[in-house]
Structure 1
Amino acid sequence: MRDTRFQELAAQLAGYSTALRPGDRVLLELTDIPEEMGVALIREVRAAGALPFLRLNQTRLNREMLSGAVEEQYEAIARHRMAEMEDMDAYIEIRGGGNAFEFSSVPQENMATAMKALNPVAQRRIRHTRWCGLRWPSEGMAQQAAMSTEEFEDFYFRTCLMDYGTLRPAMKRLAEMMEAADKVRITGPGTNIAFSIKGLNAIPCAGECNLPDGEVFTAPVIDSANGHISFNVPSLFQGIPFDSIRLTLEDGLIVHAEAGDKTPQLNAILDTDPGARRLGEFAFGVNPAITKPMRNILFDEKISGSFHLTPGQAYHVADNGNQSRIHWDMVCIQTEEAGGGDIYLDNELVRHNGLFTSPELAILNPIHS
């Protein structure tokens, strides 16, 4: 039986998220998703008068390629993909896969080789196409979220298909508050950090570039962050699970980083290049329907009552000048249940224990069912 939600999601992606127009060239990059979803997406692209182009991947084959990655090979792959991307007006990526740890055995140096070659392609996509990326629900994701498969699928489609337009006014207001501010201070268990966001854009994200969505981001002034921070949301990066990451920053530089027995792997990633030890993003998570972590960054960075700080590459729309081959959103929940915490803009308390203090932002507070 065809799941009508496939068609609804395809329509959301082609219509609301990427706003396809007649004649647009659209690259569809699909990894381990049902054929029915791919068919629905191709049909929606055509219905908009746009032209679909298809690239299919498989996670295990990608892992095998990365396991033997060499510079000459990935430079050639990057040239081919750059030529393709330069010919596209829009890009939609859906990534499935049952094993979230599939890339955990890939040597770090091989991963760095591939990332170095492919990062310019990703930057071209971000800067010059209308794009949206999302994961596809799987039994593995449900297990990480401590949900049944059916429960997780219902949650996934509910959050992807929610009416993001209703959140946009409050998100826009929060962005205005951030753009008017100079200093940010964040306190909480194991956390006392301050930095400047003066002069940088703040961007409300309401379903355009990610599904599910729900964050308002900017970037710290590159040399302004000082203090220490503890992240209480488990993170999966480059196929490696990390828990309880703790960072210390001096003048914008991560001078100390630890994550229990994964501390060597953490520091290896932060040593990818000089920009990996500086911050490229600061964001409030504001999706009121996402209230608990599931070790999936595309969901966890949107948790209402959370914030994230990001070692690595800054986005061009909120560019503090930091450049890196990595971009790693590290998430901390500040709800009372998670230990609490406060965020101040220019010494004014804007969120306490995960709840915005202003009534005009209340719609962004967590929904507990």
Structure 2
Amino acid sequence: MISDERQKILAKNLVNYSCEVQPGENVLIEASGVPYQFVNLLVKEVFAAGGFPFVSLGDNKIKREIMKRGGEELFKRMAKYDELKMRDMQAYIGIRGGENSYELSDAPAGAMQAYSKFYAHPVHHELRVKKTKWVILRYPTEGMSELAGMSTEAYEDFYFDVCCLDYKKMGEAMTPLVDLMNKTDKVRIVAKDTDLTFSIKGIGAVKCKGERNIPDGEVYTAPVKDSINGVIHYNVPSIEDGIKFEDVRLVFKDGKIVEATANHTAEANKIFDTDEGARYVGEFSFGLNPYIKKAIGDILFDEKISGSIHFTPGCCYDDAYNGNISAVHWDLVLCQTPECGGGEIWFDDVLIRKDGRFVLPELEGLNPENLI
């Protein structure tokens, strides 16, 4: 386990800033592949805040065995049990560690879809997200360092820079972007093999400033469900259901994905065929974390790349509601920095971001050098 004061600071921030645990509140801590010492730090902080910690420990090797042999009936029974527990929680901290990001890669596709539909959707999308103060994060491991192409020490320094950012300062800098998004109707995204238009009128924008995901740093809304037309070619790889997808290219007509290709086209289309909502989009978001400059193979980091957007097929959030409901929520990332090929974002025919940098004076506070 990493041994320094940064762990204690992170645990304190998760309990007191992200979840704002109050005396008498129940807090569910779900940890998979995480050293018990860090879980203990969280337990101590929950007690210090006057809360009651409930701890559930897991491992993806165990989940893999369940996925290989389980199915709809098991996942419904699991959901029935865990729904009762989740309903009694006021806060939730979810931490994932482990060494192998591809541990679930050989789990049957049908089982993964059934798990999403019959377990993850009712327990997490419908209860945890809507009813609790929650935060999720990854725990740094040597496997994550390797995936990022960094030494263990360099990755740990990167991790704590990203996770212990001054999120309050970032939240203040987000205000002009939120105000602008709330006044915007038409959005156009332009990049290599990408020209996409849609409306965000009336949906509303939401700050992500260290209260839900760690690392954090995004402002999201959702497109009007049937307003999307054009093509988007994502240039950041995505691990979904244990499969590494690259070069995901989606064609939209009146909001619906009518064509989807990737390095694993058949598997991608199975995800989009999970239910009706999986072929519509539930989120449009700007990545803003100044310390995240390139993809490292973990979506909790990659969706926050400074100069990126993600455009997410599947379920929307209640606080940026566009009516799209699905068991799927697949964050797919397009990076528009010069190193990634550049690109432009237009709001109502006004250029607001070029090659990953905001160009309007009121938004320049969100450029990386102004957030560090």
TM-score category (smaller protein): over 0.9
Q: For 1:325, what is the secondary structure of its paired residue?
A: coil
* 1:366 shift after superposition: 3.5
**Aligned to 2:367, which of 360, 365, 368?**
365
d(CA) in 2 for partners of 1:146 and 1:232? 18
d(CA) in 2 for partners of 1:362 and 1:165? 17
Aligned partner of 1:180: which letter?
A: K
Aligned to 1:41: 42
Q: For 2:309, what is the secondary structure of its paired residue?
A: strand
Alignment of 1:147-226 (within 5 A): 147-226=150-229
d(CA) in 2 for partners of 1:137 and 1:363? 29
> For residues 229-251 of structure 1, what are the alpha-carbon distances to aligned partners after superposition, in whole Å with 9 as ceiling and x for unaligned?
11111111111001111110000
Aligned to 1:348: 350
Aligned to 1:268: 270
**Aligned to 1:258, which of 243, 248, 261?**
261
TM-score normalised by the chain length of structure 2: 0.97
* 1:367 shift after superposition: 4.9
* 1:206 shift after superposition: 0.4
Alignment of 1:6-21 (within 5 A): 6-21=7-22
Aligned to 2:28: 27
d(CA) in 2 for partners of 1:360 and 1:24? 40
2:120 is the counterpart of 1:115: no
* 1:176 shift after superposition: 1.1
Q: For 2:102, what is the secondary structure of its paired residue?
A: coil
Given that residues 289 and 367 in structure 1 are in contact (C-alpha distance below 8 angstroms), is that contact kept between their aligned partners in structure 2?
no
* 1:316 shift after superposition: 0.8
> For residues 78-103 of structure 1, what are the alpha-carbon distances to aligned partners after superposition, in whole Å with 9 as ceiling and x for unaligned?
01100000000000000111000011
Aligned to 2:328: 326
Alignment of 1:272-351 (within 5 A): 272-351=274-353
> For residues 282-311 of structure 1, what are the alpha-carbon distances to aligned partners after superposition, in whole Å with 9 as ceiling and x for unaligned?
001111111100111100110110001000
* 1:167 shift after superposition: 1.0
Given that residues 6 and 36 in structure 1 are in contact (C-alpha distance below 8 angstroms), is that contact kept between their aligned partners in structure 2?
no
d(CA) in 1 for partners of 2:15 and 2:190? 40
* 1:361 shift after superposition: 2.2
TM-score normalised by the chain length of structure 1: 0.98
Unpaired runs of 5+ residues, structure 2, are none
Aligned partner of 2:156: which letter?
A: E
Q: For 2:195, what is the secondary structure of its paired residue?
A: strand
- How many residues align structurally? 368
2:104 is the counterpart of 1:95: no
Aligned-CA RMSD value: 1.3
Aligned partner of 1:95: which letter?
A: R
Unpaired runs of 5+ residues, structure 1, are none
> For residues 87-137 of structure 1, what are the alpha-carbon distances to aligned partners after superposition, in whole Å with 9 as ceiling and x for unaligned?
000000001110000111011111111111111111211011000000111
* 1:359 shift after superposition: 2.8
